[in-house]
Amino acid sequence: MVFFKKKIVPLTDIFSDNFIDIHSHLLPGIDDGAKNLKNSLELILKMHSYGIKNFITTPHVLGDVYPNSSETIKNKLTEVQNALKEKGYTDIKINAAAEYMMDEQFSIRLEKNDILPLKDKYVLVEMSYFNAPINLYEILFEIQLKGYKPVLAHPERYHFYHNNFDNYYKLKKAGCLFQLNLLSLTEQYGKNVQKISNEILKLNMYDFVGTDTHHHYHLELLKKIGTKKNAKKIEHLLRNNATVFN
């Protein structure tokens, strides 16, 4: 009997020059991602070695836990941009948006138009891993009423939806776009999340992808997605990122 190993391909073969990562935590010291400027640069340069040269990084905006203002995020972005420029990395492009928890404070920000979109009208949102907001569909309606398009971060990670796929269909029908975490294709978040991510992929319900990079461990794990099978499964999503966000 002959056993075939998975054919590993370098990540530089998966990520084209025009791919843009729309979900990461690379700004220094403002959430659970990069700890300081040195750490920010280390993460960005490691991702650069994988072929990722374009970023819209997305720090958490989450109640009193990460109460980041648009101004705070922009200031940290400028700090990182200047540091990259000083070190001569002219082929790296980084901008910033935010990953907004859909809570009461988000609704207030929305009302005030104090939102940092990924680009144009695309807004990255998330919800608690324990349960969806009671008024979830009202929030999604409010987002769209303001002219924005909600992009739901990592829908595969909301375990309370796993036993009823109708919830995913309902979200899509309500105008919600889906962003796959690339690490969900590994066992990083558990085998069940890996299974659900593949099911959502088969149903062609994802719109975009992101690395959701927080630290070096995530980047080591990211190497595991480098198989020809995974490359084939996500190639249309990588193209979507490049087309919509560049």
In the sheet that 99-101 helps form, which strands lie side by side, from edge to edge? 60-61, 99-101, 122-126, 149-153, 177-181, 208-210
pLDDT of residue 8: 78
- Could you give all domains of the chain from N- to C-terminal order, each with its CATH number? 11-245 (3.20.20.140)
Cβ burial of 85 (10 Å; 0-12, 13-18, 19+) is exposed
- The model's pTM is 0.96
Distance (Å, whole) CA 15 – CA 27: 22
If DSSP codes are grouped into helix, strand and coil, which group holds residue 219? Answer: helix
Distance (Å, whole) CA 140 – CA 63: 18
pLDDT of residue 2: 45
If DSSP codes are grouped into helix, strand and coil, which group holds residue 210? Answer: strand
Q: Provide the residue-wise pLDDT of the chain in tens; the chain has 246 residues.
A: 444 456 778 999 999 999 999 999 999 999 999 999 999 999 999 999 999 999 999 999 999 999 999 999 999 999 999 999 999 999 999 999 999 999 999 999 999 999 999 999 999 999 999 999 999 999 999 999 999 999 999 999 999 999 999 999 999 999 999 999 999 999 999 999 999 999 999 999 999 999 999 999 999 999 999 999 999 999 999 999 999 999
The residues near 67 (Cβ < 8 Å, ≥ 6 apart) are 61
Residue with tokens 């340069």: 45
pLDDT of residue 28: 98
Distance (Å, whole) CA 223 – CA 188: 12
The DSSP bridge pattern shows strands 93-96 and 54-57 to be parallel
Q: Give me the helix-helix angle, 37-49 and 70-86, nearest 10°.
A: 60
Count CB atoms within 10 A of the CB of residue 124: 24
